[in-house]
């Protein structure tokens, strides 16, 4: 089973992603509400996949992505972005994010994206 770490500052978004992934046979091993927690949890949990929101307090998704990539160059991180964040998504891709999904997302888009990188 794919073990996923869901990172988003909005509990609502975490719930949405969690519901979506769990109903498709993935295991949510952890949730993080900001980048700093995400990095800590990544080290702890070693998930197969991370969904990473970009706009977050404390440490944003880009910095968290960079930190995670430094710790584990093989990390599979999918950015969760919104329209208007093109520049950041681009930077994330350059920093090693495997792909991205755009809010508001549809289940099949998310799954397609995730399956393409697993």
Partner 1 sequence: MADHGQTEQMLEMYIYETTQNIEQLEAVILAAENADRYDEDSINEIFRIMHTIKGSSAMMLFDSLAALAHKMEDLFYFLRERQPAFIDYSLLSDLVLEGIDFMKVELQKIKNGDPADGEAGQLLQSIENYVTVLKEQTTAAAETAATAAGQLKTPMPAAADSSIYKAVLHFAADCGMENIRAYTLVLQLQEQVAELQYLPEDLDSADSAELIREKGFTLFLRSDKSYAELEEILAQTLFLERLELSQLPAAETAAAGAKDGDVPETMQQLKERTAQETNLAAGSQAVISVSVSKLDQLMDLVGEMVIAESMVTQNPDLKGLQLDNFEKAARQLHKITGELQDLVMSIRMVPLATTFHKMHRLVRDMSRQLNKEVKLQLLGEQTEVDKNIIEHIADPLMHLIRNAMDHGLERKEEREALGKPAVGTITLEAKNAGSDVLILVKDDGRGLNKAKILERAQAQGLLTKPAAEMTEQEIYELVFLPGFSTKKDVTEFSGRGVGMDVVANNLQLVGGSVAVDSVAGEGCTFTLKIPLTLAIIDSMNVKVGNSCFTIPIASIKECLRAQQHTLLHDTNGDEMLMVRGVCYPIIRLHQYFALDTPITDLSEGILIMVEHDKQGCLLFVDELLGQQEVVVKALPAYIRNRHQSKGLSGCTLLGDGSISLILDVGGLLN
Under the rule (CB under 8 A), what is the footprint of partner 1?
9-13, 15-16, 19-20, 23, 55-57, 81-84, 86-87, 89-90, 93-94, 99-100, 102-107, 109, 112-113, 116
Residue 85 CB, nearest distance to partner 1 (Å)? 8
Q: Which CA distances in Å does 67 have to 60, 73, 89?
A: 11, 10, 16
Distance CA 20, CA 83 (A): 21
CB-nearer residue toward partner 1: 46 or 109: 109
Residue 95 CB, nearest distance to partner 1 (Å)? 11
Distance separating the N- and C-terminal Cα atoms of the chain = 11
CB-nearer residue toward partner 1: 57 or 71: 57
Which is nearest to 79 in space by CA: 113, 46, 42?
113
């Amino acid at each position: 089973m794919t073990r996923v770490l869901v990172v988003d500052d909005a509990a609502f978004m975490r719930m949405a992603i969690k519901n979506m992934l769990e109903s498709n046979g993935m295991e949510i091993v952890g949730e993080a509400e900001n980048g700093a927690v995400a990095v800590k949890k990544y080290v702890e949990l070693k998930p197969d996949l991370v969904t990473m929101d970009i706009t977050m307090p404390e440490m944003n998704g880009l910095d968290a992505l960079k930190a995670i990539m430094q710790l584990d160059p093989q990390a599979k991180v999918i950015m969760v972005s919104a329209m208007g964040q093109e520049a950041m998504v681009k930077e994330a891709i350059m920093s090693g994010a495997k792909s991205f999904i755009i809010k508001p997302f549809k289940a099949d888009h998310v799954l397609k994206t995730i399956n393409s990188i697993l």
